[in-house]
Structure 1
Amino acid sequence: MFPSGFAWGAATAAYQIEGGWDSDDKGPSIWDTFCHREGEEGRVFAAQNGDVSCNSYELWRKDLQCVQELGLTHYRMSLSWARLLPDGTTGTVNPKGVRYYNTVINDLVACNVSPMVTLYHFDLPQALQDRGGWKSPDMATLFDSYARFCFEEFGDRVKLWITINEPYVCAKLGHEDGSHAPGVKQPGVAAYLVGHNMLRAHARAWHSYDSLFRSKQNGAVSLALNSDWVEPLDPASAGDISAAERFLAFTLGWFAWPVFATGDYPPAMRSAVDAQSARLGYGGVDSRLPGFSEDEPALLGTADFFALNYYTSRKVRSRGGGAGGDGVSMKSDLDAEGVLDPSWPLCGVSWLAVVPRGLRNLLGYIKETFNNPAVYVTENGFSQVGAVEIDDVQRCRFYHDTIMEVAEAIEDGVRVRGYFAWSLLDNFEWADGFSVRFGLFHVDFSEDGRPRTMYRSGREYAKIIAKHRPGPNADKGKAEKLL
């Protein structure tokens, strides 16, 4: 059912698990600032923060034990840019941060677990935010410098790299809605600029790896894109069909089309933004969604695999051209609305409907739309809210059903090369704080030692891995064998 060398993994992110927010010369990140900002209630559930979280900075060996208990072949982690480079530049390298990540990577490799390393998972150094953050065109060069530093320091052992995690979320929630750090609310303008600069940054980092490191390190580089699967609410409605196409263009397509398809934004996205700009009299017709310069490194082809974060699905209906009342905003540009099918069960949070078959559908769409790339499902999970159930039967069923859908996608001809559960541990879930739990291991945040206890779903996932994991003599860790 699964190809030889299939990656069985779990994922985490630095700010969500590490804690040690100001330990050992680490610089502050935008999430430190966002959580600590006084006088702005409601930014994060119960005013919680990631100052300690799972305390993985001090308790890494406990995490490693969890990785081993699951029998993972791969572990997806992220680096804290501000822990490595406190002011965001290579002029201020923090050797204690370098030592920490060397310890983590070396321990994983010693246990025959391949690290997949994300360079940027939402936690920009505050020093760079003070210089304009992702709205600044200079970020492409600054990110490239950071990426080169990481490739040089860790690339001899890391064969799978993610440059940027979920640029859509960084752009929209961080700069359109203001519900994520850095908390900017500039509807219809800032998110497009941020997304543009993230794509420029990714392209530069990929080209740097390709020209300077690939021949020596033999790894692979991509960026992780999140997307729901969407279908028209009324399959017989031309308006809903068009709305569903726009919905995908404004989410997955926003970043996948430039990298995997054409080198530019999806035509449906470009035409929608430009048309709405004209209707609202906003400057030049194309003044909000930037164009790519021929002087920049080319975007098309700057991914060695497709990294997909999938959680849920949506039915989409047209708003009938009535979105202009929202003024200049992504909502008015999109002119479509995603809704839940009432037959879909919810898990924990209101937005997270359980639709395993949506992953198979989305994988099929990626195969047909983006020339059948090798795909890693880099995040997928099921949340709990409220009373903790260690015997989490529903989550067990979710993982069984979802992994079966992945197997079916492989039978469909999709080149799926790995699956990473979100998350290894219960952790700080951004604006939801610790109220939402996705872990394969329960973490007791009320105790200083942050004890980890495997959920039943962790045990079931471990059984699935044991059934399919290659033998001890398998040749692991070579990315080219999976691409």
Structure 2
Amino acid sequence: MKRLLGLFAVAAVIFGLDSTSINLEKFPDDFIFGTASSAYQTEGAWNADGKGENIWDHFVHKFPEKIADGRNGDITCDSYHKYKKDVVLLKKLGVNFYRFSLSWTRILPTGFPHRINQAGIDYYNNLINELLANGIEPIVTIYHWDLPLELQKLGGITNSLFADWFEDFSRVVFENFGDRVKFWLTINEPRLICVFGHSTGVFAPGIQSGGIGEYLCNYNVIKAHARSYHLYHKSFRPTQKGRIGLVIDCQWYEPATNSTEDIEAAERKLQFDCGFYGHPVFSKKGDYPQVVKDFVAERSEIEGFPSTRLVLFTQQEIEYIRGTSDFVALNHYTTYYAANDKTITPFTEHPSSAKDSRVHIWQDEDWPSGIFPEFRTVPWGFRKLLKWLKDNYDDPDIYVTENGFSDDNKNLHDRGRVNYTTLYLSALLDAIYKDGVKVKGYAAWSFLDYFEWASGYTIGFGLHQVNFTDPNRPRLPKDSVKTYTSIIKNRKLTPID
């Protein structure tokens, strides 16, 4: 069976890299192109001009051993001081939009709205105005993982008041920036916040509470998103006329065989990872997927818990959360094989959503990869995922808010990224023209090489290389800049050499 899967994998790779398979249709007239960043990864100036400390500031300073190269985001690209130079590069790139996030503690140093830091407001006003002056639409993520440390001391996202705190922060940013920002993203990748931050603990705040704190995080972060959406819809949309949505990360899971067990396992993994956050917001029924509720309840009972570890929504909460997004904002990178895992480990082991799902996943080593091996190039999985979102969430508008390829930050000749971008955009065009998926935009991750969380500076996803040993942090365009600029200008792809 393993050999057979390998042959299928090789066939898929050959098909994916065949230049004749590139979709040469033009992108629709209303399709928009952009690139993306996040505040902690790019701004630097970690304690400048009244900014408060956030959980990533604290995490990298207290636990440098948890970062691959022991480094931090204190300066990173220094975009706080170099935003005008960045906008010049964005203008040269030709993008329609730039997605960036707001540093909560740059605006509210303690996390609470009683003290607003005017320097932080000024910085984001200047950035927004500079983008608009150059014909680039700002797409703003309200929260991208950098929770104020003062709120974390109170329990952070696992505190039942988190939704109140997030609504208060949302109100401040809508009041200050909503006259010009017309495209809002509430929370970036809640799954990774809860799994990496509250289960495995490899990301800030470093909590290891799989299947318990992890699920409390899920519950609170989804409610917080809904609170921000309703606030905007009721109090700001009538005058500001913008749109707002949630960012979910979804990879594709391909059944390892055509057996019923593996087909169900692949779908189950999709529901645990993508549906866990998508279903409550985007589906007609709302609530967590039924298979998620069933499997968590079953394993909780086996482990000796008196009831399910999943924090369930009330009917009132289901109705309040359902429909709280004007579009699907999708972050996608790669594909895995999935097989049913019949093993039920003893109840004495620590619980987690991975164990609850009972799915074994892996990737074929023949699939091309960059320096980060988990993000292999599998464009056919991207097309399948887009069709899955269309079928499961009532044919929504979809904006791809992250998609990218990793390298080692050392080579401007990034052929792997050129191929990856071309192949994934070709799969996206296939989804539009052959499957009828309403994909409306695409953001290449990332604009620059950044501090990449637990990987530090050992990998980079940037279209531009940054010299992190030079105090001036010079930016140099990689070959992929020329490719992406050409795609945007011509609104079509060219075959791969």
Distance 1:269 1:321 in 2: 17
1:60 to 80, 83, 86: 83
Question: Which residue identity is paired with 2:417?
Answer: R
Residue matched to 1:117: 140
Q: Is the 8 A contact 1:187 1:329 kept in 2?
A: yes
> What pairs up with 1:374-385 in 2 under 5 angstroms?
374-385=397-408
* Pair 1:290 & 2:290 matched: no
Partner of 1:187: 210
The answer to whether residue 423 in structure 2 is matched with residue 401 in structure 1 is yes
Deviates more, 1:144-153 or 1:340-349: 340-349
Contact kept in structure 2, 1:192 and 1:290, CA below 8 Å: no
**1:319 pairs with 341, 347, 366, which one?**
341
Kept in 2, the 8 Å contact 1:86–1:125? The answer is yes
Q: How many residues are matched?
A: 464
Q: Which residue of 1 aligns with 2:236?
A: 213
Shift of the alpha carbon at 1:293? 5.4
Equivalent pair of 2:41/2:73 in contact (CA under 8 Å): yes
Check conservation: 2:445, 2:461, Cα contact below 8 A.
yes
Q: Structure 1: how far apart are the matches of 2:105 and 2:440?
A: 31
Shift of 1:296: 7.9
* Residue of structure 2 equivalent to 1:468: 491
Aligned to 1:476: none
Q: Aligned partners of 1:216 and 1:355: how far apart in 2?
A: 43
Aligned: 1:300 with 2:322: yes
Query: Which one-letter code corresponds to 2:377 in the other structure?
Result: V
Identical amino acids, percent of aligned pairs: 39
Q: For structure 2, which runs of at least 5 residues remain unmatched after alignment?
A: 1-25, 493-497
Per the alignment, do residues 293 and 141 of structure 1 end up closer, same or farther by CA in structure 2, a change over 3 Å counting? farther
Q: Deviations over 1:172-197 (max 9, x none)?
A: 00000000000000121011110110
Secondary structure of the structure 2 residue equivalent to 1:315:
strand
RMSD between aligned residues: 1.4
Structure-1 residue corresponding to 2:121: 98
Map 1:349-360 onto structure 2 (within 5 A). 349-360=372-383
Change (3 A) 1:415 1:95: same
SS class of match (1:460) = helix
Equivalence map 1:211-360=2 (5 Å) = 211-235=234-258, 237-261=259-283, 262-284=285-307, 286-292=308-314, 294=316, 298-324=320-346, 326-360=349-383
Give 1:283 deviation, angstroms: 2.3
Counterpart-to-counterpart distance in 2, 1:342 and 1:324? 31
Instruction: Letter of the 1:99 partner, please give it.
Output: D
* Matched position secondary structure for 2:66: coil
Structure 1 gaps, min length 5: 470-483
Matched, 1:32 2:54: no
Superposition deviation, residue 328 in structure 1: 2.1
Q: How does 1:118-197 map to 2 (within 5 A)?
A: 118-197=141-220
Per-residue deviation, residues 449-469 of structure 1 (Å, max 9, x unmatched): 000000000111001001129
**Residue identity opposite 2:53 in structure 1:** P
CA distance in 1, matches of 2:488, 2:219: 38
Are the aligned partners of 1:233 and 1:315 in contact in 2 as well (CA < 8 Å)?
A: yes
Shift of the 331–126 alpha-carbon distance from structure 1 to 2, 3 Å rule, reads: same
Q: Which amino acid aligns with 1:49?
A: N
1:73-84 aligned within 5 A: 73-84=96-107
Instruction: For residue 418 of structure 1, give the secondary structure of its aligned residue in structure 2.
Output: strand
Correspondence for 1:475? none
C-alpha separation between the residues in 2 aligned to 1:36 and 1:246?
38
Q: What is the TM-score of this pair, normalised by structure 1?
A: 0.94
* SS of 1:462 mapped into structure 2: helix
* 1:261-288 Cα deviation digits (max 9, x unpaired): 122000010000000011111122x343
Name the counterpart of 1:472: none
* 1:350 shift after superposition: 2.3
CA gap of 1:430–1:41, structure 2 versus 1, over 3 A, is closer
Partner-residue secondary structure (3-state), 2:316: coil
Mapped pair 1:373 → 2:392: no
